[in-house]
Amino acid sequence: MHSNKFDNLRESLGAYLDVQTTLSVLGWDQEVHMPPKGAARRGRQLATLSGIAHRMLTNPEVGKAIAELEDDDTLSHDARALLKEARYEYDRATKLPEAFVTKLAEEQSKAYEVWVQARRMNDFHLFQPNLETIVELLRQKADYYGYEDTPYDALLSDYERGMTTARLREIFSGLREKQSALVERIVASGNAPECAWMDQEWDETKLWEITMRALTEMGFDFDAGRQDKSVHPFTTNFGLKDVRVTTRFEPRDPFSALTGSLHEGGHALYEQGYLESDERTFLADAPSLGIHESQSRLWENLVGRSRPFWKRYGPVYREAFPEQLKGVSDDDLFRAINRVAPSLIRVEADECTYNLHVILRFEIEVAIIEGDLSVTEVPEAWNAKMKDLLGLEVPSDDKGCLQDIHWSHASMGYFPTYALGNLYAAHLGEKIREELTDLDAQIESGDFTPLLAWLREHIHHIGRRKLAQDIIEEATGPEATAEPFMRYLNSKYGEIYGL
């Protein structure tokens, strides 16, 4: 039973989510279409709308309605679930003063524009003052939220509810050792795939068509979404029926557009897969970024970097690029897209080194936020860690600490969720292979319906009714650890590199 009071609360929060999704439209447009001189005014629009959204959510009437409804025993199960999330959002939002939220949105918009320029001009010093402001604001944010152990815990909670810095240090120290050891064995094997043929021209129009084909086969609904190009691939939604992905083209790279689309497509299938009855509520959302990332990594890696996938897409690639791929087999393509080599750019990193990129950023972020590292020292620290973790010299900041969009979006505590995504995906992968025994044949024939149905049932439809860790545990059995991921890596790369 829904009380009138509940319907009113639901409508108030729906209107709040209309403003939030409108902010997403402004953000999408900013990165995909906005002309450069439009940035200043866009910053004002984002700031104004953020302030409005904040006022709507923190309206004392909302708090009063939540408190009253919490005493109402007649509410349905779904209504209770929504009320719980309303409580969570309200409590978090009321901790941040409106002036602070407006200020953060303004500085974020400025920082983004400067970051784009700084990256283009390869000049960290251009971005440094903006990053300093962002860090200062993030420390304030942590103070407003409150924390027990470290301010980084508070920032983390924006992205991975229930996760702590201490737990991450634990998981990451284990991962670091095991992944490093595997990478060492791979490099020592001398069995690197032949990839010289990759260094050719790859027509963007043809690559684009392949990405559109892959998205369609995965089950992305183009009547409820679209794909565009942007500097950094991302997914956003303005509702369940308007989910937008972007991808990008890297020169002389036949794979980056496709892996970008598979990755963002994985996110998008999640967002197109929430329950329609949850539209315009907090429940049509993921409980954490880590579980969101499990969906993108599952499609990008467990599907898109699998041998059966390349039995299907090998012929597609050779038809699009007959000249460039003369004599390149499905297996050559499979091995090339799975080549392991320490590299500078996170989004292009292979599965074996990817988490090392995350660990690098995690350590820098914690040090900045805890005051052990100044923003001025970031490039130096970055470059030292890149040497330490991946054995690489960073030639310039655009390939180093300027490569990622996140800090310009005032996001710290976000990167660890990428590694958690890999771990969750590996958990899901083991269970899915148990239940869908024909998975390889399905992938090879382009029939992703059973896989998508499994994800819809066990992940997508749940929305925010449960925490990430609980969803993974209930879907797969054991508590999430690094073990399945290491089993996956060791098995796959042991075979490829003949270890």
Output 235 or 301, the one with its CB closest to a copy of itself: 235
* Identified binder of a copy of itself from the candidate list 14, 129, 371, 395, rule CB under 8 A: 14
* Choices 70-78, 109-117, 190-198, 233-241 (CB under 8 A): range interacting with a copy of itself: 233-241
Q: Which of 225, 241, 349 is nearest to 297 (CA)?
A: 349
* Identified binder of a copy of itself from the candidate list 2, 3, 8, 26, rule CB under 8 A: 26
DSSP character string of 239-307: STT-EEEEE---TT-SSHHHHHHHHHHHHHHHHHTS-GGGTTSTTSS-SBHHHHHHHHHIIIIIITTSH
Output 37 or 77, the one with its CB closest to a copy of itself: 37
Q: Does 238 bind a copy of itself (CB under 8 A)?
A: yes
Q: Does 206 bind a copy of itself (CB under 8 A)?
A: no
Measured between alpha carbons, how far is 150 from 390 in angstroms, rounded to an integer? 27
CB atoms within 10 A of CB 41: 10
Q: Which of 345, 337, 314 is nearest to 198 (CA)?
A: 337
Q: Does 212 bind a copy of itself (CB under 8 A)?
A: no
Q: Does 45 bind a copy of itself (CB under 8 A)?
A: yes
Q: Does 322 bind a copy of itself (CB under 8 A)?
A: no
In the complex, minimum distance from the CB of residue 102 to a copy of itself, in angstroms, rounded to a whole number: 10
Q: Does 66 bind a copy of itself (CB under 8 A)?
A: no
Q: Does 221 bind a copy of itself (CB under 8 A)?
A: yes
Q: What is the DSSP letter of 160?
A: B
Measured between alpha carbons, how far is 450 from 29 in angstroms, rounded to an integer? 34
In the complex, minimum distance from the CB of residue 40 to a copy of itself, in angstroms, rounded to a whole number: 7
The CA–CA distances, whole Å, from 36 to 114, 404, 430, 448 equal 11, 19, 46, 40
In the complex, minimum distance from the CB of residue 323 to a copy of itself, in angstroms, rounded to a whole number: 24
* Choices 34-42, 150-158, 366-374, 446-454 (CB under 8 A): range interacting with a copy of itself: 34-42
In the complex, minimum distance from the CB of residue 251 to a copy of itself, in angstroms, rounded to a whole number: 23
In the complex, minimum distance from the CB of residue 49 to a copy of itself, in angstroms, rounded to a whole number: 6
Identify whether the C-beta of residue 134 lies closer than 8 Å to the C-beta of residue 111: yes
Measured between alpha carbons, how far is 240 from 211 in angstroms, rounded to an integer? 21
Q: Does 120 bind a copy of itself (CB under 8 A)?
A: no
* Given the residues 264, 271, 300, 430, the one annotated as active site: 264
| Total residue count of the chain as it appears in this document | 499
Total residues binding a copy of itself (CB under 8 A):
39
Q: Does 2 bind a copy of itself (CB under 8 A)?
A: no
Question: Is the Cα dihedral 48, 49, 54, 57 positive or negative?
Answer: positive
434 is written with which tokens? Answer: 């148990």
The angle that helices 449-458 and 256-272 make with each other, rounded to 10 degrees, is 50
Query: For residue 176, what is the enclosing H or E element?
Result: helix 165-189
Tokens 């050559």 appear where? 332
* Choices 10-18, 135-143, 328-336, 391-399 (CB under 8 A): range interacting with a copy of itself: 10-18
* Choices 163-171, 217-225, 250-258, 475-483 (CB under 8 A): range interacting with a copy of itself: 217-225
Name, in order, each residue with C-beta under 8 angstroms of 318's C-beta and a sequence gap of 6 or more: 325, 328
In the complex, minimum distance from the CB of residue 290 to a copy of itself, in angstroms, rounded to a whole number: 27
Give catalytic status of residue 264 as yes or no. yes
Q: Does 29 bind a copy of itself (CB under 8 A)?
A: yes
Q: Does 225 bind a copy of itself (CB under 8 A)?
A: yes
The angle that helices 416-435 and 468-476 make with each other, rounded to 10 degrees, is 20
Task: Give residues in contact with a copy of itself (CB under 8 A).
Answer: 14-15, 18-19, 21-22, 25-26, 29, 33-38, 40-42, 44-45, 47-49, 51-52, 221-226, 228, 238-242, 279-280
Catalytic residues: 264
